Every structure is written in structure tokens, then in C-alpha cells.
């Protein structure tokens, strides 16, 4: 029973209302045995205008199947002693569970951001440099014009106007505030800029000075903001395991730790983008 209660607590705390993870298409219903089977759709059909030659030669569409295992996220157990649980004025075990949920969410968000941000610049996955003045740290600032440029790239790729999302890194949020405080305040009020729904988070994705995504966990490269079309990205939650384990003989209390299965990524290499800080 405790296992179910605490798993539900973690799940309830995992997607707060202000999280950009909520924007991803949920594929929870497709998870079986902590795996998800996806089909990557082949090329779009050619459209011929005012055709005068019949019959039209048919083509085939080659789809590819992908079996995707959900990533495993484990928290290091927390020890709650019997004395602590008796002498605190609150339910310490439940407080610890909430803390584990927060830690799992942060780690999963970092993984999701890295998976969604494109590897390098292409027509379907634009990776653009910032073009503003030196922001004081040797990098060019993000400008509103840079976001408009990204909008143009999405428009030229015929991506839907609805469901566009941009996740700003803290440095780029600061740049927009410094460029035009009134426009920034309007964006924060409406939650929109140039047709993109705006979120701000320290997601940790970084690029090289030439616009190539760096290895997961890199901390000494160029910060970025990333964007996506909602219909092109997904998230899937699998099992959540864990409950307080009473360990009287050696710990005189309980150990609490959890394992969560989760993945977030694009359906295909399309409809995702990034703007990285370019050297000034």
C-alpha cells in the first residue's frame, strides 16, 4: 500500500503546472514493460500540379520501427531515523519523498532537454547563433531578432503555427530583459514571443562555438535556448518503484529510495531547434 501511495506522490509532483515537460506529447499509453515501440514515418508524398501524364507512377513509403527502452533514474536512499520521525512536527518520510520527486524531475528534465535539442544545424533542425552585442562574458547576447529569425526558419519549414515552444536558458532571458524591459515584461505576462510559448529553465544543454551539440553534462561550452513543435516531441513514463524500507537492526529507522523509468525525445529529426551563444 505504501508503495502505491508514494509512487502516486512522485507522479503528482513530477509535472507541475509551470513545467515545459507538460508541453510534450504524452505516450504513456504506449509503454509496455518499460519500453515503447515507435514507427518513424517515411517521406511525404510528392504533389504534382496540373499533371498531364497518366498514370502517375506510384511510390512506396518506407517506415522504420524503433523499440525504445525507457531510461532508468535511481535516487540514492535517504535514511530517516526513528527518533527523527517521532520528534519532528511533520511527516518527515513524506517530506523526503517530495524531495526525491523534485530530484527525479530535475534529472529527467535535463535528460529530456538534451534529447530534444538538435545535434547541429539543418533545414529541419535549425541551430542558430546569437547576434547581439557582447553581453560582458565574451558572448553575443540573444536578441528579439534572433527569435524572429527562428520563427522564419520554422515558417519556411512549414511547421504548424500552433504548438511552438521555446525554452530559454537563464543567460538568454537576461539578454531579453536588458534589450527591452517593457517588451520582456509583456512576454512574461502573455507567456508568448513571436508565436512561441515561453519557458525559462536551467536545462544545461550546451553547444560548441560552431553550433554542434556537446556531450551530455558538458559545462564549459556555449549555453543555448531550444525550441520545438509540440507534435514532434514526446514523453513517456514507465514504472515508479520504491517505498520506505524499515531497517531497525542497522539503521534504527527507514531507508527511502526510488527508481523511475522515463524518456523524452523527438519523434523524428524534425521540428526542433536551438539558439546558442556565439562568441563576440
Domain map (residue ranges) of the chain: 2-40+66-115+235-265, 118-233+269-276
Task: State the Cα–Cα distance between residues 233 and 45, nearest whole angstrom.
Answer: 22
Three cell numbers, residue 105: 524531475
pTM: 0.85
Task: State the Cα–Cα distance between residues 3 and 242, nearest whole angstrom.
Answer: 6
Q: Give every residue of the chain whose pLDDT is below 50, as ranges.
A: none
pLDDT score at 86:
60
pLDDT score at 118:
97
Give CA torsion, residues 217, 220, 222, 224, to 10 deg. 30
Phi, then psi, of 111 in degrees rounded to 5: -65, -45
pLDDT score at 19:
92
Tell me which architecture the domain covering 118-233+269-276 has in CATH.
Answer: 2-Layer Sandwich (3.30)
pLDDT score at 61:
84
pLDDT score at 90:
63
pLDDT score at 87:
60
pLDDT score at 94:
81
Three cell numbers, residue 73: 533514474
Amino acid at each position: 500500500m505504501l508503495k502505491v501511495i508514494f509512487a502516486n506522490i512522485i507522479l503528482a509532483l513530477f509535472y507541475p503546472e509551470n513545467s515545459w515537460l507538460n508541453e510534450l506529447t504524452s505516450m504513456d499509453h504506449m509503454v509496455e514493460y518499460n519500453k515503447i515501440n515507435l514507427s518513424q514515418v517515411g517521406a511525404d508524398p510528392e504533389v504534382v500540379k496540373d499533371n498531364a501524364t497518366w498514370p502517375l507512377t506510384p511510390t512506396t513509403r518506407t517506415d522504420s520501427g524503433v523499440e525504445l527502452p525507457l531510461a532508468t533514474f535511481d535516487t540514492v536512499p535517504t535514511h530517516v531515523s526513528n527518533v527523527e520521525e517521532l520528534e519532528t512536527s511533520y511527516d518527515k518520510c513524506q517530506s523526503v519523498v517530495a524531495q526525491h520527486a523534485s530530484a527525479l524531475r530535475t534529472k529527467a528534465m535535463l535528460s529530456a532537454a538534451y534529447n530534444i535539442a538538435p545535434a547541429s544545424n539543418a533545414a529541419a533542425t535549425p541551430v542558430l547563433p546569437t547576434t547581439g552585442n557582447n553581453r560582458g562574458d565574451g558572448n553575443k547576447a540573444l536578441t528579439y531578432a534572433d527569435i524572429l529569425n527562428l520563427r522564419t526558419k520554422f515558417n519556411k519549414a512549414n511547421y504548424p503555427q500552433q504548438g511552438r515552444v521555446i525554452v530559454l536558458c537563464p543567460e538568454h532571458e537576461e539578454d531579453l530583459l536588458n534589450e527591452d524591459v517593457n517588451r520582456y515584461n509583456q512576454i512574461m505576462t502573455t507567456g508568448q514571443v513571436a508565436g512561441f510559448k515561453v519557458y525559462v529553465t536551467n536545462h544545461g544543454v550546451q553547444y560548441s562555438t560552431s553550433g554542434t551539440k556537446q556531450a551530455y553534462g558538458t559545462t564549459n561550452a556555449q549555453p543555448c535556448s531550444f525550441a520545438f513543435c509540440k507534435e514532434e516531441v514526446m514523453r513517456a513514463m514507465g514504472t515508479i518503484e520504491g517505498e520506505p524500507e524499515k531497517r531497525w537492526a542497522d539503521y534504527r529507522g527507514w531507508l527511502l529510495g526510488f527508481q523511475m523509468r522515463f524518456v523524452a525525445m523527438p519523434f523524428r529529426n524534425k521540428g526542433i531547434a536551438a539558439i546558442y551563444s556565439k562568441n563576440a
